[in-house]
């Protein structure tokens, strides 16, 4: 993964509006964003929450993120379709600004769902958690792509018009269906470094998701 900034975007939608947003998003919003330097990595349905629309977007760096977002959200495509898009969305602020740690966003296996897991870390636990995960846990999982880990990027949000979660450190993992196994291992070995329960999503790629 050469991009240095990722956004994991988890939208809460109005009831019954997910398919309408997916159709609009895939028809109108992918190519215009990528033409400006954003990379739409994945688009998902949350299999257990029918009112959630989840997607992953990345950028080369902070300046590229600002340029791409400002170009898209002030540009003609968003201006034309924003009313229809916003009508489907109840809340779009559950967004993690992340930097990649390890792994790859390669192809999935046989249409199995993906598992995303967000662990909120205790204060000062970041360095130790990452080191122990990479040294003691990742080698035991025996998994192939897709398997990628990320950590909160604490740099200032370069485009505050789109808010991101702040005042927390999140270790984020995106994996194939074996992500459940990884979670159990983390909980057993590193649970003392976590705050609260992890946020776990079972995710199904949409038709035009680059990650499948």
Average pLDDT, the chain: 92
Q: What is the pLDDT of residues 28-65, one digit of tens each?
A: 999 999 999 999 999 999 999 999 999 999 999 999 99
212 found inside a domain: no
What confidence score (pLDDT) does residue 176 get? 79
For residues 181 and 141, the answer to whether their CB atoms sit within 8 Å is yes
Report the Cα–Cα distance between both ends of the chain, in Å, rounded: 16
Residue 147 lies in domain: 5-204
Bridge partners of 62, per DSSP, are: none
DSSP letters of 2-48? ---EEEEEEEEE-TT-HHHHHHHIIIIIHHHHHHTT-EEEEEEEETT
Over residues 83-104, the mean pLDDT reads 96
Over residues 112-129, the mean pLDDT reads 93
106 found inside a domain: yes
Q: Which residue has the tokens 């902070």?
A: 62
What confidence score (pLDDT) does residue 129 get? 96
For residues 90 and 39, the answer to whether their CB atoms sit within 8 Å is no
How much of the chain exceeds pLDDT 70, in percent? 91
How much of the chain exceeds pLDDT 90, in percent? 77
Q: Please tell me the total count of domains within the chain.
A: 1
Asked if the model's pLDDT at residue 190 lies above 80, the reply is yes
Asked if the model's pLDDT at residue 144 lies above 70, the reply is no
Helix orientation angle between 76-88 and 62-73, rounded to the nearest 10 degrees: 80
Count of other CB atoms within 10 angstroms of residue 12: 14
211 found inside a domain: no
210 found inside a domain: no
What confidence score (pLDDT) does residue 178 get? 61
209 found inside a domain: no
Q: What is the pLDDT of residues 10-38, one digit of tens each?
A: 999 999 999 999 999 999 999 999 999 99
Q: Which helix (H) or strand (E) holds 98?
A: strand 95-104
Backbone conformation region of residue 99, classed left if phi is above 0, alpha if psi is from -120 to 50, else beta: beta
CATH of the domain at 13: 3.30.70.100
What gap in Å lies between CA 156 and CA 37, rounded to an integer? 20
pTM here is 0.93
């Amino acid at each position: 993964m050469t991009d240095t900034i990722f956004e994991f975007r988890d939208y809460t939608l109005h009831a019954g509006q997910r398919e309408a947003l997916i159709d609009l998003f895939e028809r109108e919003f992918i190519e215009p964003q990528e033409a400006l330097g954003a990379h739409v990595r994945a688009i998902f349905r949350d299999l257990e929450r029918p009112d959630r629309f989840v997607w992953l977007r990345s950028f080369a760096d902070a300046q590229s993120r600002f340029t791409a977002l400002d170009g898209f959200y002030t540009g003609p495509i968003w201006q034309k379709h924003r009313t229809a898009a916003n009508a489907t969305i109840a809340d779009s602020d559950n967004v993690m600004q992340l930097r990649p740690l390890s792994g790859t966003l390669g192809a999935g296996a046989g249409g199995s769902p993906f598992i995303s897991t967000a662990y909120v870390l205790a204060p000062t636990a970041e360095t130790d958690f990452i080191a122990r995960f990479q040294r003691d846990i990742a080698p035991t999982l025996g998994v192939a792509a897709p398997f990628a880990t990320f950590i909160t990027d604490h740099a200032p949000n370069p485009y505050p018009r789109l808010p991101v979660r702040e005042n927390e450190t999140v270790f984020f993992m995106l994996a194939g269906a074996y992500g459940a196994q990884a979670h159990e291992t983390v909980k057993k070995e590193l649970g003392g470094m976590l705050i609260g329960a992890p946020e776990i999503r079972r995710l199904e790629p949409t038709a035009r998701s680059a990650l499948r």
